[in-house]
Amino acid sequence: MVTVVAINGSRRNGSYTKHALELALDAAAETGAEVGMIDLGEHDVPLYHPDHDPDETVTELMRRVRDAEGVLVGSPVYHGSYSSAFKNFHDYCGFEEYENTSVGLLASAGGGSYGSTLDHLRATIRGVHGWVVPQQVGIRGARNHFEGGDLTTESLAERVAELGRVVAEDARLRSDDRASVPAED
């Protein structure tokens, strides 16, 4: 069984990004994956400092990313890029957390543009050797697509669910590949 965790890069109460990630996780779970949410709004993550060791909270969050075969990264569009909450946590992570991990990207925008956010996420996940799947989801005018936590625009909901399924499936293929590599003498 593979594990897929979502990282919500919004700290906003009632975050649209979180609602969308929950939908993607539900779809991943339907394929048989174990799923979990890292909501950065619920954790106090100190500003990354290269001279300090991660505290207990961050160490546990890093472990959850490291143990997952698939990761769904979601961020609100902030000034044409992704959020500082995601970047701050991401700076704690590295190859150990993401090597051989399947990653799916999602961004929600207040306005009409999310392309640069998804591009920036793709680049920074490459920086830690994550395998970003080609499918990605951007939600423009996010407030118009949610009602009480549900993503009500069917076409978008289907794309989000597809993202969850693809990441779970890709994670499964990757771990099967790992398992089938013959042990060295």
Ligand X SMILES: Cc1cc2nc3c(=O)[nH]c(=O)nc-3n(C[C@H](O)[C@H](O)[C@H](O)COP(=O)(O)O)c2cc1C
| Chain residues that interact with ligand X, rule: CB under 6 A | 10, 12, 15-17, 76-80, 108-111, 113, 142
What is the nearest approach in angstroms of ligand X to the Cβ of residue 57?
Answer: 21
DSSP string, 105-135: EEEE-SSS--HHHHHHHHHHHHTTT-EEEEE
Closer Cβ to ligand X, 2 or 24, answer by number: 24
40: amino acid identity, one letter: L
**CB closer to ligand X, 30 vs 147:** 147
Q: Indicate the residue among 78 and 98 with the shorter CB distance to ligand X.
A: 78
Q: Which of 54/110 has CB closer to ligand X?
A: 110
- 72: closest CA among 42, 94, 105? 105
Q: Tell me whether residue 100 is exposed, middle or buried, using C-beta atoms within 10 angstroms of its C-beta: 0 to 12, 13 to 18, 19 or more.
A: middle
Minimal distance in Å, beta carbon 37 to ligand X?
Answer: 13
Given a contact cutoff of 8 angstroms between Cβ atoms, the answer to whether 136 and 105 are in contact is yes
CA angle 64, 37, 150 (to 5 degrees): 165
Q: What is the DSSP string of 5-58?
A: EEEE----TT-HHHHHHHHHHHHHHHTT-EEEEEEGGGS--PPP-TTS---HHH
Residue nearer to ligand X on the CB measure, 39 or 69: 39
